[in-house]
């Protein structure tokens, strides 16, 4: 019995050491985190305590400087007023004997060119107290006092060493104790579960996992976890069989849904740039067409033309025949433009009864001929419930350095000239004065 017990104890110790010394073990990582958290907490507490101690020392130093200012400087000012060098030196030596003073120097005289000093002054000192000496409202000199900070720093460093050593030792002992407890109660059992999970293979015979505990082991969170693990692997076995059986069906459904989604996306994208009434490209679609065409255009080698069309006296149709007839007229007018335009042209509704045709690789002369063809096609068409109808056109081509707004503005001005000139005609843009 004793030999078996020793064997079990040796096996447990070996397993514990393997868990603790594993290069990527949870125990070692937890040790790092525990030590890090404890050290951080100790550093914060130490820093706060040292900060307040340091502030207290600084406050005492400042009180010492105020005491010197109130008790010593008036006498020093009297000596400087009377040019009593011996008296000033005595007063200065008295200030230098203060435990808070490392050294001091006084400048006096008409131009403050004369100087006396006491103690050791550091020219690179980071902090100096400067006081102006006055007598009867007249400045008789200045005194510079260098505070004695060495004692203050030494006391602070001594405190840091003591507090850090105490807090560090406490944190280390606490961290190792917590780590040993967690390793024995949790980590070794988690390792057993990991070995069981590694050996599990769907389709093979399933043997429930049992914790290696004594016969009267407690029913705690680990026991609950084991029960849930066994239940999960049982359901995983069933799910694996279901997955194999239905994987092909799901794959087909995903493919079908993807195809439908892409088609729906394409249709939505098309609807976003299509005018609902006429079926032509809407204002948004024309803006996108301009964004694509402007960078590719060049007035010399790749001209870009715009034709702006307007139905003559369209408002009278709406007023006399109603908006339904007006809508029919707009649809028929759009059809004429789209049939007469070229495959490379973009026909869109600019707004109301105005339509815009974007013509890449088109000179002004070519655009004028196309606009004349469109005008003649409209005039020759017999519209439902209306009969004949005419339209006016303004034509412009892109110039160097222009934007789409500049181009459309000049086409609109040309369209205005066509309207003013009697309608049912094509007008080109005004010539470039600079050219």
What pLDDT is recorded for position 188? 67
Paired residues of 358 in beta bridges: 306, 346
HSE of 231 in the Cβ direction (CA atoms, 13 Å)?
A: 6
114 class by beta-carbon count within 10 Å (0-12 exposed, 13-18 middle, 19+ buried): middle
Q: Round to whole Å and give the CA distance between 68 and 65.
A: 5
User: Which residues, in sequence order, are bridge partners of residue 383?
Assistant: 387
Residues in the chain: 435
pLDDT at position 105 is: 83
13 backbone dihedrals φ, ψ, rounded to 5°: -65, -40
Give 54: exposed, middle or buried? Use CB within 10 Å, 0-12, 13-18, 19+: middle
Asked whether 125 and 96 are in contact (CB, 8 A), the reply is: no
Position 343 scores a pLDDT of 92
Tokens of 161: 């060493």
pLDDT of residue 407: 93
The catalytic residue positions are: 353
Question: Three-state DSSP class for 124?
Answer: coil
Position 115 scores a pLDDT of 79
Rounded to two decimals, what is the model's pTM?
Answer: 0.44
Task: List average pLDDT for each run of 10 residues in the chain, which is 435 residues long.
Answer: 62 56 58 74 76 78 78 80 80 78 81 77 70 82 80 74 76 73 68 71 70 66 72 73 74 73 71 85 92 92 94 91 92 93 92 93 95 94 90 95 93 95 93 66
State how far the Cα of 415 lies from the Cα of 350, in Å rounded to an integer: 13
CA 212 from centroid of its chain's CA atoms: 50
**How high is the pLDDT of residue 375?**
95
| Whether 333 contacts 319, CB under 8 Å | no
Q: How many angstroms from the chain centroid is the CA of residue 123?
A: 48
Q: Are 375 and 425 in contact (CB under 8 A)?
A: yes
């Amino acid at each position: 019995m004793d030999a078996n017990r020793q064997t079990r104890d040796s096996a447990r110790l070996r397993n514990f050491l393997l868990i603790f010394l594993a290069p990527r073990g949870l125990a070692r990582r937890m040790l790092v985190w525990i030590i890090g958290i404890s050290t951080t907490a100790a550093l914060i507490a130490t820093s706060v305590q040292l900060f307040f101690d340091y502030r207290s020392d600084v406050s005492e130093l400042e009180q010492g400087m105020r005491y010197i200012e109130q008790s010593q400087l008036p006498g020093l000012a009297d000596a400087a007023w009377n040019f009593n060098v011996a008296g000033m030196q005595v007063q200065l030596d008295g200030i230098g004997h203060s435990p808070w003073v490392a050294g001091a120097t006084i400048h006096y005289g008409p131009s403050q060119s004369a100087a006396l000093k006491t103690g050791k002054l550091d020219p690179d000192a980071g902090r100096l107290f400067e006081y102006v000496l006055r007598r009867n409202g007249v400045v008789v000199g200045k005194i510079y006092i260098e505070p004695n900070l060495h004692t203050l720093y030494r006391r602070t460093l001594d405190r840091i060493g003591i507090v850090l050593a105490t807090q560090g030792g406490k944190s280390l002992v606490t961290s190792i104790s917590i780590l040993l407890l967690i390793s024995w109660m949790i980590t070794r059992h988690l390792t057993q579960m990991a070995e069981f999970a590694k050996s599990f293979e769907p389709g093979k015979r399933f043997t429930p996992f049992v914790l290696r505990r004594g016969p009267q082991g407690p029913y705690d969170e680990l026991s609950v976890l084991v029960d849930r693990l066994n239940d999960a692997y049982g359901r995983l076995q069933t799910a694996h069989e279901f997955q194999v059986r239905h994987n092909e069906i799901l794959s087909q459904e995903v493919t079908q849904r993807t195809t439908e989604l892409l088609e729906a996306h394409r249709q939505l994208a098309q609807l976003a740039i299509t005018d609902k009434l006429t079926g032509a490209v809407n204002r948004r679609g024309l803006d996108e067409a301009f964004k694509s065409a402007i960078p590719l255009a060049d007035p010399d080698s790749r001209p870009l033309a715009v034709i702006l069309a307007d139905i003559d006296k369209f408002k009278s149709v709406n007023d006399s025949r109603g908006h339904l007839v007006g809508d029919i007229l707009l649809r028929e007018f759009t059809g004429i433009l789209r049939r007469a335009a070229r495959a490379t042209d973009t026909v869109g509704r600019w707004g109301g009864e105005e339509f815009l045709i974007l013509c890449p690789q088109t000179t002004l002369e070519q655009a004028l001929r196309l606009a004349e063809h469109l005008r003649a096609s409209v005039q020759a068409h017999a519209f439902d419930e209306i009969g004949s109808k005419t339209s006016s056109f303004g034509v412009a081509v892109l110039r160097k350095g222009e934007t789409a707004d500049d181009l459309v503005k000049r086409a609109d001005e040309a369209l205005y000239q066509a309207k003013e000139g009697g309608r049912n005609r094509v007008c080109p843009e005004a010539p470039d004065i600079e050219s």
